[in-house]
């Protein structure tokens, strides 16, 4: 589904060159749940932004569903990003003066499906994260965990091929973070491909595979043999 080969990303500020990614390569299959971990500055968010068509690499090859990123125009990238990718960010990125229903429906704004179909998709997405009883609430009427669940509903409403989650628990308490991770895990069990960027060890252990970055390079790429959530909320 995803192919990354010898990917490099450099940022230039006058004569200063900062290398964020330095020769990253891996393959990812449909239905994977991959956690990308590493310390601050390791390049994990830069990598996610490139894979999510939010940025372009300096060199190397990135293919999404067989299409090379270099072969696509900005408009084509935007279309694929809206139709085939869902995003969940640390700070939710909800519209503050828009209720849950309309926040979740944002990715459907420019689609050609009927109004009835849009409404059904939105309600189903909201129900899947357990927030049907909050459908008319505003973001400031929700807890942090509930806001992140709204963001997840928004990410899946367009039936994307892959969901990118960038530090989705980073702004939550441990209980809310656990609930969010359980939802992502359930979505993966249903067949959704999940790419998670995190610095939290317990969060990464809920994935099927963990790629660790350091100084813009992959230092380990390991499969997780089993995933189990104990009643005390810890991953064993």
Per-residue pLDDT of the chain (236 residues; tens, 9 = 90+): 899 999 999 998 888 999 999 999 999 999 999 999 998 889 999 999 999 999 999 999 999 999 999 999 999 999 899 889 999 988 888 999 999 999 999 999 878 889 999 999 999 999 999 999 999 999 999 999 999 999 999 999 999 989 999 988 888 888 888 888 988 998 999 889 999 998 877 788 889 999 999 999 999 999 886 554 444 444 43
Identify the CATH number of the domain defined by range 2-232.
3.40.50.300
Contact call for residues 68 and 61 (beta carbons, < 8 A): yes
- C-alpha 187/C-alpha 193 separation (Å) is 8
**Cα separation values, 19 from 8, 24, 62, 123, 143, Å:** 8, 12, 18, 43, 38
Tell me the domain boundaries of the chain.
2-232
Bridge partner list, 7: 24
pTM comes to 0.87
**Cα separation values, 180 from 18, 19, 88, 100, 204, Å:** 34, 32, 11, 17, 13
**Cβ–Cβ contacts within 10 Å for residue 234, how many?**
12
């Amino acid at each position: 589904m995803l192919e990354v080969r010898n990917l490099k990303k450099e940022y230039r500020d006058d004569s200063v060159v900062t290398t964020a990614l330095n020769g990253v390569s891996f393959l990812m299959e449909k239905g994977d749940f991959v956690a990308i971990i590493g310390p601050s500055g390791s390049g994990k968010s830069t990598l996610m932004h490139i894979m999510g068509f939010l940025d372009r690499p300096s060199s190397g090859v990135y293919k999404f569903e067989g299409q090379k990123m270099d072969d696509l125009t900005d408009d084509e990238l935007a279309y694929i990003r809206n139709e085939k990718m869902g995003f969940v960010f640390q700070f939710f990125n909800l519209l503050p003066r828009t209720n849950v229903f309309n926040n979740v429906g944002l990715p459907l704004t420019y689609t050609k499906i009927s109004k009835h179909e849009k409404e059904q998709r939105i309600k189903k997405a909201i129900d899947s994260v357990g927030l049907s009883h909050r459908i008319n609430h505003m973001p400031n009427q929700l807890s942090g965990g509930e806001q992140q669940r709204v963001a997840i509903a928004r990410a899946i409403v367009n039936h994307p091929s892959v969901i990118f989650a960038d530090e989705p628990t980073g702004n939550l308490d441990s209980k809310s973070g656990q609930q969010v991770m359980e939802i992502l895990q359930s979505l993966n069990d249903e067949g959704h491909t999940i790419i998670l960027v995190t610095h939290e060890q317990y969060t990464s252990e809920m994935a099927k595979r963990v790629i660790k970055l350091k100084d813009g390079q992959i230092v380990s790429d390991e499969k997780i043999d089993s995933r189990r959530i104990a009643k005390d909320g810890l991953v064993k």
